[in-house]
Amino acid sequence: MIPNLNIVPFVSVDHMMKLVLTIGVERFLVELAAYIEDDFGRWELFDKTPRVASHSAEGVIELMPTSDGEVYGFKYVNGHPKNMREGRQTVTAFGMLADVHNGYPVLLSEMTILTALRTASMSALAAKYLAPRGSTCMALIGNGAQAEFQALAFKALLGVDKLRLHDIDPSATRKCMRNLAGLGFDMTACATAQEAVEGAEIITTVTADKQYATILTDNMVGSGVHINAVGGDCPGKTELHRDILLRSDIFVEYPPQTRIEGEIQQLAPDHAVTELWQVMSGAVRGRRDAGQITLFDSVGFAIEDFSALRYVRDQLQSTGLYQELDMLADPDEPRDLFGMLLRAAKQG
């Protein structure tokens, strides 16, 4: 796309927003889900490792790398719940793709917005295989920065158009309802999580506190529902009571990572779980019957970010929504890097 070896296409926040709006949010979510599904179909080709995490009392900073043997990708991402009180995002991110054969970066992109989109696409994609067929009503508990993306992904991929919303901060629920107004939802603000789950076929929990929490208790979860547990994504941070896990069929992205970070950190290390890629491939059944409780223990995995970056890169040539970043040294003779400095001194 860019012939100059020193130039890397860079997708800024401004360009990402324009890209999403040009494509359309729901179409973006659907197409991104298709890229994730495609890469999950190539699961065994990828390098896989739990993300590298640096924890502190305030939050976590993580690197999420993977490669399919042709392209390498990584994401830098943080999670700092206290940031909201300081007027900052809880989660920020950026990512890169590189050519495995020469090591040169081929894309640098913001991923704060893109992570919200890919998380929502992954949730809805999992629910396509696990949620009760024909589900239209979802409880959405936690109405912060991720909530609208989740709602739109479930609408676009599954046809969910009824939302029962709850947050411990009522202003978050009001914000969510305001942002989703006119987008085809029948929304109900609920005073408690218990009220929110009443009549819901899908329950999505997407809260941010970095602690062991009990957003759902066992008595709140009836037979036949699908739970999309998004908020628990690092050691010591969960949302569901352990008894719910014991009643559920649990589906995960990558067990070595989810056992450290997900809801299943509450269970024995050998507790049976099913990998989603196996369900998508048809090797293992997802939802078997109407009474089954399915749980997607979502923590986010590097292959999903790889898919998101790959999708964005594929949109750049037709949209032109990127800028050229002079990022790589490109001396006239590859061994003469110092000479490049000397020539720059003469030009200056």
Q: Buried b / exposed e across 274-313, counting CB within 10 Å, b at 16+?
A: bbbbebbeeeeebbeeeebbbbbbbbbbbbbbbbbbbbbb
Q: Which has the closest alpha carbon to 103: 65, 64, 63, 71? A: 71
The gap between the terminal CA atoms of the chain, to the nearest Å, is 30
Pairing of strands 93-99, 105-110: antiparallel
Q: What is the DSSP letter of 109?
A: E
Compute the Cα dihedral for 221, 224, 225, 229 and give only its sign: positive
Identify whether the C-beta of residue 94 lies closer than 8 Å to the C-beta of residue 113: no
Q: Which has the closest alpha carbon to 203: 225, 220, 218, 184? A: 225
Name the catalytic one among 39, 167, 233, 305: 233
Active site annotation includes 169: no
Q: Which has the closest alpha carbon to 249: 131, 157, 139, 128? A: 131
Rounded CA separation 44/60 (Å): 28
Q: What are the residue numbers of the active site?
A: 233
